[in-house]
Structure 1
C-alpha cells in the first residue's frame, strides 16, 4: 500500500505550505495577462470580445426568391410551365417596381406642389392632372389639385365633373367645414381618386382670388389632404402667385421641346431666382412636355442638360394622342412610355418628401 506521506511535498494548497502562495496554472491560449480582470477576485482576465455581433448566416447564404414576371415571354414561360420555371422579372418590370416604391415613400403632413409656366399651351394643366392622378392611383392617401388660374382655368375639364362648386364657394363656407366629407362636397373626383377643386369660371370674379384667399384655401385643405398640387396661371404677377410660391414645398416648371417653350421656362426660372425663390428653384423639377409627335430640329438631350444644371431634376414626357385630345384624362388610355415617364416624374417629386420622424 502506498504511504500518503510520499505525496505530501507535492501539495500546492496553503495548508501544506502555510508560508508560500499557491501557484496558478498557466494562462490558457487567447488570454492577455495585461487586460484587467472581469471581476476583482477572478484569476484570469476576460477573453477579447468581437467589436460587433456577427450577422446571421442565413442572411448571407439564402437567396431571396425571384419575383414572378408580369408580362412578356417571361410570363408565358412561367404560366406555361405551371409556375415551375420562373425566369424572374425583366429589367423593365424591376425598374417600374422601384419607381412605384419611391412614389409610395412615407409622407408626413401635407406636401404642396406648384405647377408653373409663363407660356400657355405647354400642357401645364395636363401635367398637373396626370401627375396628381399618378400619385392618387398609387398612394393610399388623398391627393387634390387646385385651379389657381385667374383666367378661367380648365383643370376641371380633365376629370368628370361631380359638382359646380368652385374654390370661391369653399372660401365662403370655410367656417362650416369640420370634416373631410364636408370638403368633398366641393370637389370632383376621377377614376384615379384624384380630386379637383375648380376655379371660378367668371374671369371678373376669379380675378379677386387673392394671396390671402389662396392661403386660406391651402390651410384648410392641408388638414384633409396629403398632397396638394396648384395649377397656377401663366402670369407671375397676379395676386395669388406670391401665396402659391411662399407656401410651396416643391415646384414643377413645365416646358415644351420647342425653342419658345424652353425660353419661357428659362425665363420663369430667372424670375424666380431674381425674386428670392432660389431655394425653391433648387427643389424644382423641369418637365419637358412633347405636345407634338415630332421634336423637330431641337436637341432634347441638350435641352434636358441645360435645365438639369439649374433644377433638381428633369423629366421628359413623350407625345401621347390621348393627351392631345384635351378632354378628360384616363391613365389607362395613355401609352406605356407616357405612363412610365409620369411614374418617373412622380418618383422624382416623392424624393423631395420630408423624412419621416
Structure 2
C-alpha cells in the first residue's frame, strides 16, 4: 500500500497561506511559491512534491499547514494524492462502515470503474435477501412438518424504507483539502471544518416556541452589549428566525448606540404604549417595524431603551411582561441586554422569562468577580434562577487595554488571564467560550462582517453553545 511505502525521509512540509502564497520545504530547503490564487499555488506545490516522489520512485509523506489547521497527505510518483490514514478518525470519515485499514487509500482524478461483487456473500444480508427473492430459481418445497416448525421471517413493510436517511458528507471546502477537491482529488473535511459545520447546524435550528436569552453581568464594561449584538447576528443569519435584541436597561442603555438606527426614534416605552394594538387579532406582522430598528446586514432587529434625557422613567416588572408578550408574538428569538442592578424589578422579571443565561466577562479581575457574584446571586435564589446559573454560558473576552499597547508581553498576559478566568468558571457552568481581542468590537457600530475570521469563528462557537441550551 502507498503509505506503508512512504518513509519519513525526506521531510516535506507544505504551507498554503490565505494571501495567495505558499512554501514547500524539502529537507530544510525552502521553495517559496507566489501565484494569483490558492489553486495555482497548490498546483506548483504538488508539482515539486511529485517530482521528489518520482526521483525516489516511491510515495512521500507531506505535512500540510493552511488557515484551517494541519494535516498529513501522501503523494505518489504519479501525482495521486491521499490522506494519511493516521489522520483519519470516525469523526472525519463517517461514510466508512468498516474499520479502515492502516493504509492510505488514493483518491484519483479518474476513478476506475467499480464492479458489483461477484458473489452474493460479499453483499449485506438484507441485499442478499432481496437478490434471492428476485432470482427465478426453483426451490424444493419444504415438508409440512418443516414449514410448521420454521418461524416466519417475513417482515412488515413498515419496518423498512428505500430512502437513504444517513447524512451525506460533503467534501472539504477549506485550505489544502478544498483546493485538492477542486482539482479532482476528493478530500474529506478536516476535524476543524467538521466542528464548524456542526456549530453552524446547531445555530441554524428552529425551536418549538420562542426562546429568550438574557445577557447579564452586574459590572459595567463586561462586554454585555457586544455579546448581545454578536449572538443576535449569528443566530439570525444562520437560522433565518425572526430575532430581536432588546435593551432591558432600567433607564438608558447603550445597545442603540452600538447598532444601526432606523428611520424613527421609538423605544420600548412606545412599544408598551401600543401593546394593545400590537396584540390585537387584526395586527399584522409588519407593524412591529414601527418600533424596532432593523440591522440591514446582520438581519436582526433592535428594541432600544428610552433615550429621552429629560425623562426619568424606569421600566417596571409589569412593563417587562407586556413587552415580552408583544415580542414573542412577532419573534422566535429574543436576546436581552441588561443593566447592572440584579435587584431591579425589570432585571428580575427578565430572569423570569429567560430560557438561557449568558454571562460575558472581560479578562479583568473585577469583571470576573462581578460575573461570579451574579451567578452566585441567582444560584442562592433557588428554583428557576438557580437552574439558569448552573446551565449558564460564560463568554470570556480578552482585555482590550493590554492589546492597545501592542506589547508582546502584555498580549501574552491578556491571553493567560483569559485562560485562567475561563478555567475558573468551567466547573460551575454548562459551557465556557473564549473570544480573542478584535478592534472592531471596541468602539462604534458593531458588524459581524467587520470581525477578523478567528473572532467570527469564536463567536460562532459561543452562539452554538447558547443554542444547545434551547
Give the TM-score of the pair, scaled to structure 1.
0.79
- 1:5 equivalent in structure 2: none
Measure how far apart 1:257 and its partner are: 1.4
* Equivalence map 1:168-179=2 (5 Å): 168-177=269-278, 178-179=283-284
Q: Tell me what 1:343 maps to.
A: 460
Q: Measure the CA separation in 2 of the matches of 1:153 and 1:203.
A: 12
Return the structure number with greater relative CO, CA threshold 8 A, min gap 6.
Answer: 1
Of 72, 82, 88, the match for 2:175: 72
Is contact 1:119–1:264 with CA below 8 Å preserved after alignment? Answer: yes
State how far apart, in whole Å, the 2-side matches of 1:57 and 1:227 are. 37
Choose from 284, 290, 295 the match for 2:392: 284
Q: What whole-Å deviation, never above 9, does each CA across 1:69-89 have from its counterpart, x for those lacking one?
A: 32323333333x2xx222232
- Deviations along 1:152-182, whole A, 9 cap, x unmatched? 2110122220021100111111122222211
SS in 1 for 2:345: coil
- Greater mean deviation of Cα atoms: 277-286 or 191-200: 277-286
Q: Which runs of 5+ in 2 are unaligned?
A: 1-142, 404-410
Alignment of 1:1-357 (within 5 A): 27-28=145-146, 44-47=148-151, 49=153, 67-79=170-182, 81=183, 84-162=184-262, 163-177=264-278, 178-190=283-295, 191-202=297-308, 205=311, 207-276=313-382, 277-292=385-400, 293=403, 294=411, 296=413, 298-324=416-442, 326-353=443-470
| Structure 1 residues without counterparts, runs of 5 or longer | 1-24, 32-43
Q: How many residues align?
A: 310
Provide the secondary structure at the position in 2 that maps to 1:114: strand
Change beyond 3 A, Cα 1:168–1:316 = same
State the shift of 1:64 in Å. 7.6
**Alpha carbons 1:136, 1:142 under 8 Å: kept:** yes
Cα offset, 1:264, TM superposition: 0.9
Give every structure 1 segment of 4 or more consecutive aligned residues whose post-TM-superposition deviation is greater than 6 Å.
50-60
Please give the alpha-carbon distance, in whole angstroms, between the structure 2 residues aligned to 1:343 and 1:319: 15
CA contact (8 A) 1:122 1:254 kept: yes
Instruction: Quote the offset at 1:26 in angstroms.
Output: 8.3
- Confirm or deny: 8 A CA contact 2:249 2:338 kept in the other structure: yes
Distance 1:74 1:265, change over 3 A: same
Q: What root-mean-square deviation, in Å, do the aligned CA atoms of Structure 1 and Structure 2 show? A: 2.7
- Is 1:159–1:189's contact at 8 Å kept on the other side of the alignment? no
Q: Deviations over 1:205-239 (max 9, x none)?
A: 36421111011000110011011011010111222
1:58 to partner: Cα distance: 10
How far apart are the structure 1 equivalents of 2:336 and 2:312? 15
| SS of alignment partner, residue 286 of structure 1 | strand
Task: Tell me the distance in 2 between the aligned counterparts of 1:65 and 1:273.
Answer: 43
The separation in 2 between residues aligned to 1:264 and 1:315, in whole angstroms, is 18
- 1:145 aligned counterpart, secondary structure: strand
- 2:104 maps to none
Whole-angstrom CA distance in 2 between matches of 1:175 and 1:57: 52
Q: Take 2:455 and 2:156, find their aligned partners in 1: how far apart are those partners?
A: 48
> 1:64 and 1:198 mapped to 2: Cα distance?
42
Q: Which has the higher strand share?
A: 2
- Partner Cα separation in structure 1 for residue 190 and residue 427 of structure 2: 32
- TM-fit CA distance, 1:186: 0.8
Q: Does the 8 A contact of 1:143 with 1:226 survive in 2?
A: yes
- The whole-number CA distance in structure 2 between the counterparts of 1:26 and 1:249 is 65
Distance (whole Å) between structure 1 residues aligned to residue 188 and residue 258 of structure 2: 38
Q: Contact 1:142 / 1:226 at 8 angstroms: preserved in 2?
A: yes
TM superposition shift of 1:315: 1.1
